[in-house]
């Protein structure tokens, strides 16, 4: 059940832990990522594009973080969603997404390369981002500042020969400077 696209990246994890419907891991997957503090329009766009892509038989991958990730998962919960987390599969983070975590475990799939019992820490998030892009054929970037973790995911996607789709935003909003660039 190991995701076939993830096997192709330069540094695939040797082991992943999965909770939920592992058949989603080898379907047509697109990542949707963005900041934890998005604009109203960014939130709305992420949820709507996740819903629309799900209706076109795409499974949506994201990182279960606040903001854009939450909206992407909520928009694709009924059609297929993959949450890639930065701690052990038994460690729910952020706590405010506990309900979403359990809903994804029932209707989608949660994956991690981090061992059981390990809490997420800052060094795990870039590694999680490489898996989001690694399981996906392309990544939609919804808002990103010039120095953001979201752009780390975009960089991994380019290195992994994945498509990157940048959603343009207001030139006056610093949350859009990275995607506009």
Q: What is the DSSP string of the chain?
A: ---HHHHTSSS--S--EEEE-GGGGGS-EEEEE--SS--HHHHHHHHHHHHHHHHTT-EEEE---TTHHHHHHHHHTTT-EEEE-SS-TT--SSGGGHHHHHHHHHHSEEEESSPTTPPP-TTHHHHHHHHHHHH-SEEEEE---TT-HHHHHHHHHHHTT-EEEEEP--TT-GGGHHHH-
Output the pLDDT for position 2: 94
What mean pLDDT is reported for the chain? 97
Nearest to 49 by CA among 160, 136, 145, 139: 139
| 62-105 tens-digit pLDDT | 999 999 999 999 999 999 999 999 999 999 999 999 999 999 99
Output the pLDDT for position 47: 98
| 15-36 tens-digit pLDDT | 999 999 999 999 999 999 999 9
- Tokens representing 125? 């998030």
| 100-127 tens-digit pLDDT | 999 999 999 999 999 999 999 999 999 9
Output the pLDDT for position 33: 98
């Amino acid at each position: 059940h190991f995701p076939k696209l993830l096997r192709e990246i330069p540094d695939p994890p040797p082991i992943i832990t999965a909770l939920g419907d592992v058949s989603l891991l080898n379907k047509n997957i697109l990542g949707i990522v963005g900041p934890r503090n998005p604009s109203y329009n960014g939130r709305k766009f992420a949820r709507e594009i996740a819903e629309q892509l799900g209706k076109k038989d795409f499974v949506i991958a994201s990182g279960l973080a606040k903001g854009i990730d939450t909206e992407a998962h909520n928009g694709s919960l009924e059609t297929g969603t993959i949450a890639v987390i930065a701690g052990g599969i038994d460690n729910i983070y952020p706590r405010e997404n506990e309900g979403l975590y359990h809903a994804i475990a029932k209707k989608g799939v949660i994956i991690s390369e981090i061992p059981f019992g390990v809490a997420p820490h800052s060094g795990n998030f870039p590694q999680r981002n490489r898996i989001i892009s690694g399981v996906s054929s392309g990544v939609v970037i919804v808002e990103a500042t010039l120095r953001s973790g979201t752009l780390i995911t975009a960089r991994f996607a380019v290195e992994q020969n994945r498509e990157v789709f940048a959603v343009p935003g207001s030139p006056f909003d610093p949350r859009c400077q990275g995607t506009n660039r």
